[in-house]
């Protein structure tokens, strides 16, 4: 990136905005603490704005049309992508998170487009094979900085996507980039390499909480994956309805559905269970967030960032229940022998590919090999890391077969 960046506004004031052309406001009335498009800090590379879309709805559209977003269709959520058409992938998960984030934002009079955009982008940086792939790639690249999926998502949308003639990346607004990097909260040093590099060019205020829309997207992620992992786990037979009846939080809803309807076929039972469990989580989140917003009374989006704490949250009791339910899923689903049986092989695929590409960049496709140049081993490692991180599950397996002349089944 060689273009000069727009100046960042003072942190104690609402940004004045650095968008070119007319700025479209959303049709709904936004609350004062919402992130207003007219107050956007703009884009790294100045562009004329759309006369028909807000800057955040334009960001959303750019993400949806990106190569990285399409690849999520074939990236693991919990199950390897080819194990069954009914199970979630990163793409279907992202769509579910976006639906929840948009609904929450609408209810709280926040910017729906920005909440949806951050939700759609929150998993862009994930490797093949879910968290197993990320852990393997991080472990094997420790000497060049490791791997972090949020940092890689930033690298994708600011560098690796090549859709526009005038710049690398998608040239998203500051607020969307902020949400991608720190939707889970402030970042403490040392920062991951891509974040540190970009932050030096255009500070993302990494030590503060993000705007309310990004906070809602992060909590929507929690709600979505808890519910759809229960759905997928039951359908896959990793645990039973009886098991779930003993689980924290979910057990009350299992008993409630059973008392109302008696014995149901699994699909109807899952539908009723998820409907009531998800509804209770959303109701709690809205009530607690309204309480926190009323107490803090942030005058604008900048005040949300400077609040020193999250203003979107579950109640303390519900958060403890959520953590306990996550622990149940960790023990009964993510560590289930059927799931663990693929982890060792997935780790081997990622590790072996990285080591092969780093040792011999000519094994990479020509356009990727050319990026290694003559800068040596570190450069080839970084290129190999980017290349592997962008792979889908199936493509990683096919590359393994190509490189090692050996098919590996997961």
pLDDT (tens digit per residue) in 163-172: 999 999 999 9
Residue 48 in 3-state DSSP? strand
> How many C-beta atoms lie closer than 10 Å to residue 34's C-beta?
26
pLDDT of res. 82: 41
DSSP 3-state helix, strand, coil percentages of the chain (rounded to 5)? 60, 0, 35
CA–CA separation, 147 vs 196, rounded Å?
13
pLDDT of res. 410: 62
Q: At residue 373, does pLDDT exceed 90?
A: no
Q: At residue 33, does pLDDT exceed 80?
A: yes
Mean pLDDT, all residues of the chain: 90
298 vs 20, which has greater pLDDT? 298
27-337: CATH number: 1.10.3210.10
Q: At residue 15, does pLDDT exceed 80?
A: no
- Cα→Cα distances 400→76, 327, 363, 384, Å: 17, 34, 11, 13
The mean per-residue pLDDT over the stretch 319-328 comes to: 96
Q: At residue 9, does pLDDT exceed 70?
A: no
The mean per-residue pLDDT over the stretch 187-205 comes to: 95
The mean per-residue pLDDT over the stretch 18-42 comes to: 81
Q: Residue 163 in contact with residue 66, Cβ under 8 Å?
A: yes
Q: At residue 258, does pLDDT exceed 70?
A: yes
Q: Model confidence over 50-78: pLDDT tens digits?
A: 999 999 999 999 999 999 999 999 887 66
CA-based nearest residue to 174, from 220, 148, 208, 147 = 208
Strands (E), 81-161: none
pLDDT of res. 159: 96
The mean per-residue pLDDT over the stretch 226-245 comes to: 91
Q: At residue 341, does pLDDT exceed 80?
A: no
pLDDT of res. 365: 94
pLDDT of res. 87: 67
Q: Model confidence over 137-182: pLDDT tens digits?
A: 999 999 999 999 999 999 999 999 999 999 999 999 999 999 999 9
Q: H or E segment at 61?
A: helix 55-64
CA-based nearest residue to 384, from 347, 349, 359, 348 = 359
Q: At residue 128, does pLDDT exceed 60?
A: yes
Q: At residue 2, does pLDDT exceed 70?
A: no
Question: Can you tell me which residue has the tokens 């094997």?
Answer: 140
pLDDT of res. 8: 40
- Cα dihedral 107/94/246/258 (nearest 10): 60
Lowest mean pLDDT among 1-15, 62-76, 161-175, 215-229: 1-15
Q: Residue 390 in contact with residue 160, Cβ under 8 Å?
A: yes
pLDDT of res. 335: 79
Tell whether the torsion through CA atoms of 270, 272, 278 and 281 is positive or negative. negative
What is the band of 395 on the pLDDT scale with cuts at 50, 70, 90? very high
82 vs 259, which has greater pLDDT? 259
Q: Residue 164 in contact with residue 151, Cβ under 8 Å?
A: no
pLDDT of res. 4: 43
The mean per-residue pLDDT over the stretch 228-235 comes to: 90
Q: At residue 185, does pLDDT exceed 80?
A: yes
CA–CA separation, 303 vs 209, rounded Å?
10
Cis peptide before 115 (omega within 30 of 0): no
Q: At residue 120, does pLDDT exceed 60?
A: yes
The mean per-residue pLDDT over the stretch 318-339 comes to: 89
pLDDT of res. 29: 87
The mean per-residue pLDDT over the stretch 230-251 comes to: 92
**Domain extent listing, the chain:** 27-337, 339-404
If phi > 0 it is left, if psi is from -120 to 50 it is alpha, else beta; for residue 129 that is: left
- Cα dihedral 39/44/45/48 (nearest 10): -10
CA–CA separation, 361 vs 381, rounded Å?
9
């Amino acid at each position: 990136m060689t273009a000069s960046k727009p100046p960042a506004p003072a942190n104690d004031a609402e940004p004045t905005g650095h968008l070119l052309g007319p700025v479209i406001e959303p049709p709904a009335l936004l609350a004062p603490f919402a992130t207003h498009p007219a107050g956007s800090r703009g884009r790294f590379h100045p562009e004329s704005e759309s006369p028909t879309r807000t800057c955040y709805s334009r960001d959303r559209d750019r993400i949806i049309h990106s190569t990285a977003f399409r690849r999520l269709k074939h990236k693991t959520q919990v199950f390897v992508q080819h194990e069954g058409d009914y199970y979630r992938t990163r793409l279907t998960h992202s769509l579910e998170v976006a639906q929840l984030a948009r609904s929450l934002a609408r209810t709280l009079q926040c910017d729906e487009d920005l909440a949806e955009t951050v939700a759609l982008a929150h998993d862009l940086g994930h490797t093949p094979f879910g968290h197993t792939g990320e852990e393997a790639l991080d472990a094997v690249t420790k000497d060049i900085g490791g791997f972090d999926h949020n940092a890689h998502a930033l690298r994708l949308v600011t560098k690796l996507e090549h859709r526009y003639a005038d710049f690398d990346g998608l040239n998203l607004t500051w607020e969307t980039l902020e949400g991608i990097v720190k939707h889970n909260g402030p970042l403490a040093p040392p920062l991951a390499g891509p974040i540190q590099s970009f932050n030096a060019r255009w500070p993302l205020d990494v030590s503060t909480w993000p705007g309310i829309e990004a906070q809602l997207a992060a909590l929507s992620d929690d709600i979505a994956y808890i519910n759809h992992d229960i759905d997928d786990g039951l359908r896959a037979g990793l645990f039973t309805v009886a098991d779930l009846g003993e689980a924290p939080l979910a057990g009350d809803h299992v008993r409630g559905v059973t008392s109302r309807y008696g014995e149901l076929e699994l699909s109807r039972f899952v539908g009723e269970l998820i409907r009531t469990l998800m509804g209770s989580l959303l109701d709690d989140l809205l009530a607690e967030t309204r309480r926190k917003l009323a107490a803090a009374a942030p005058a604008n989006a900048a005040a949300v960032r400077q609040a020193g704490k999250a203003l979107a949250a579950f109640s303390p009791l519900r958060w403890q229940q959520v953590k306990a339910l996550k622990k149940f899923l960790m023990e009964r689903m993510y560590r289930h022998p059927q799931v663990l049986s693929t982890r060792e092989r997935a780790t081997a695929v990622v590790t072996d590919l990285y080591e092969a590409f780093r040792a011999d960049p000519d094994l990479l496709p020509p356009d990727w090999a050319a990026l290694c140049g003559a800068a040596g081993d570190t450069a080839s490692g970084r290129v190999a890391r980017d290349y592997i991180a962008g792979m889908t599950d199936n493509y990683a397996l096919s590359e393994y077969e190509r490189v090692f002349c050996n098919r590996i089944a997961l």
